[in-house]
Structure 1
């Protein structure tokens, strides 16, 4: 079920549903069967309670969600959404604030307030704004565990500048990978079918309990949208507040999944790990991991051969690029040394890799 309603429309729809139900004949009324199950029809209050789940989460969360306006001297600027995480900081997307000179935020039913950017990270598409004074609203909290597929969620923000709008859906997928700057990627993203449009960027995707699942990043098409996950946001944002930036761990390799064709060309089991296509000559993996040193052609397609296959990092299996990316993003930091289990020339061995810092974009 998907809905896209403003606060007034939601409350109006709820009232209509209650009134209509209260005026309907109960299932057993007028029956000549003579049976009596002893069950009573639902009261209007019960129906209102069951129908108000989205109203409840909206009323709990909406006051902490802001509209953001960005102005720049050499462009028209832009707009987006964000949400309060403490007494003075607002989380949003990096692409919402990028290139701006002036920043303004507006809470529900209040005027515009000036804001400043305290930190931004293009690789995670996250940014933090600071405001001098906040209204009396409760900051939002993040979920404590990863949501499961099928979890009901609500996106709240300002699509097309329509402040205080809400749309509903479910978590359609987890551990997704999104494209980032310089051919890097954003790991551990959350996929949802809640409708997301321009202006939603930076707003919260929340559970029906009002906890943030992720920071809305983009809409990928009909019934497909994505959010930067709560775990990644919670790693990046404190650093943005403290230092203004965030250092991502870096292997210095090119990766691809072990597809059926890669498996065939390299005598591997499909899905057996992550294939190293290349190693950056001056990167952390130089001299530690081996990239492809040849290729073969299968059905007219060139397939790399000879590279290492990463099967595990420390104690975490890496059957896919998504799994490897999530491990790096959520479990490691630059300067740490990890044990990498690789398959090389038909045999397995463990090598030590000291991670570097991802280059500046």
Structure 2
């Protein structure tokens, strides 16, 4: 096996913070488990049930989905670590998976449903979108790349998650898109994942990095996490469409950065600041030297409302380049999908009872 070469970025330079309790990713092999599973190709193909449209979908894409086996030394404990997740063929040389699946390893092998194994080289990774790209040494002739959908998902849309929960290769679970444009946060991450797709398709440890696909086999999202029963999440195809090509080309991706802390304008914030509507987001703090420094005004203080500390005096962001920004979800999504570092956006805001517009030139997020 080739080394998991780190020729573009030091693979362990910035150890990814664990997402314990939230990620459905790099599952440790369970010594106490008696569950075993192998490729459907090992089963006698005679006398099979009729199946369904999902059976056809499974057969169309399963050879493009891989199991990711990670090896090496954990950076947090120094102990030897093993784990596994999922991935999918993006083009004829590259497999997409989650950053957190490969973050603590120094080598990774992939196994296709055909039983073929291949070694890999890390091409690029992005902590902020939890995406990573591996270059593979071998692709079976029967495997074809999966395309990212160019359509925004809608609630109620049927989807399927394909991957390797608990190391059980060749697994499909089905459901619907149960929410869109989510903002997935954790205590370990300063910046939440934007534009996340929510699904009720079952995802479990080992599913992370695998595709969430529509009925045409197009990737709606890259499975990332599960929080509880009947709810899971995936990094959207729209974000992956921006990040993955940059990882292949440059080994990294730069996210736009304002340098502000924000608070949604709910009824209490609106009342405390004499605002006519509970909409937009208030700037509560500005990072020194950031893009917003000297352009946007942070809150000047707080007042108590119903035993809660409410910011007052800060700019309320209403729109970017004419696009309404009613909440933090809209703000995060706009920055993630419509802007890049160096872009100048027109920020319409409410300040001192007046609606004004200020131009803001975006920076790049600081390194982890």
1:272 to partner: Cα distance: 1.5
Cα deviation 1:163-186 (Å, max 9, x = unaligned): 010100000011001126641111
Q: Tell me the SS of whatever aligns to 2:226.
A: strand
Q: Tell me the SS of whatever aligns to 2:61.
A: helix
Matches within 5 A, 1:36-115: 48=50, 52-73=52-73, 74-115=79-120
CA contact under 8 A between 1:7 and 1:165: conserved in structure 2?
A: no
TM-score (ref. length: structure 1): 0.86
CA contact under 8 A between 1:6 and 1:166: conserved in structure 2?
A: no
Q: Find 1:186's aligned residue among 184, 189, 193.
A: 193
Counterpart of 2:168 in structure 1 is 162
> Counterparts of 2:364 and 2:40 in 1: how far apart (Å)?
48
Cα deviation 1:263-307 (Å, max 9, x = unaligned): 111122454211111111111100000111111001111111110
> Counterparts of 1:264 and 1:125 in 2: how far apart (Å)?
38
The RMSD of aligned alpha carbons is: 1.9
- Assess, with a 3 A threshold, how the Cα gap between structure 1 residues 84 and 230 changes in structure 2: closer, same or farther: same
1:100 to partner: Cα distance: 1.0
CA contact under 8 A between 2:165 and 2:204: conserved in structure 1?
A: yes
Counterpart of 1:212 in structure 2 is 219
Residue 273 of structure 2 corresponds to residue 262 of structure 1: no
CA contact under 8 A between 1:106 and 1:113: conserved in structure 2?
A: yes
CA contact under 8 A between 2:39 and 2:115: conserved in structure 1?
A: no
Residue 335 of structure 2 corresponds to residue 328 of structure 1: yes
TM-score (ref. length: structure 2): 0.84
Cα deviation 1:6-38 (Å, max 9, x = unaligned): 9859x99xx78x6xxxxxxxxxxxxxxxxxxxx
Q: Which has the higher contact order (CA 8 A, sep 6+)?
A: 2
Counterpart of 1:39 in structure 2 is none
Counterpart of 1:300 in structure 2 is 307
CA contact under 8 A between 1:271 and 1:320: conserved in structure 2?
A: no
- Assess, with a 3 A threshold, how the Cα gap between structure 1 residues 216 and 269 changes in structure 2: closer, same or farther: farther
> Where does structure 2 lack aligned partners over 5 or more consecutive residues?
1-36, 74-78
CA contact under 8 A between 2:128 and 2:193: conserved in structure 1?
A: yes
> Counterparts of 1:271 and 1:173 in 2: how far apart (Å)?
23
Q: Which structure 1 residue ranges, 4+ long, deviate > 3 Å from structure 2?
A: 5-9
CA contact under 8 A between 1:207 and 1:213: conserved in structure 2?
A: yes
> Counterparts of 1:70 and 1:324 in 2: how far apart (Å)?
35
> Where does structure 1 lack aligned partners over 5 or more consecutive residues?
19-47
Question: Larger deviation: 70-79 or 161-170?
Answer: 70-79
Counterpart of 1:128 in structure 2 is 133
Give the helix-richer structure, 1 or 2. Answer: 1
> Counterparts of 1:131 and 1:239 in 2: how far apart (Å)?
18
Q: Tell me the SS of whatever aligns to 2:213.
A: strand
Q: Find 2:285's aligned residue among 263, 278, 285.
A: 278
Q: How many residues align?
A: 322
Question: Larger deviation: 63-72 or 265-274?
Answer: 265-274
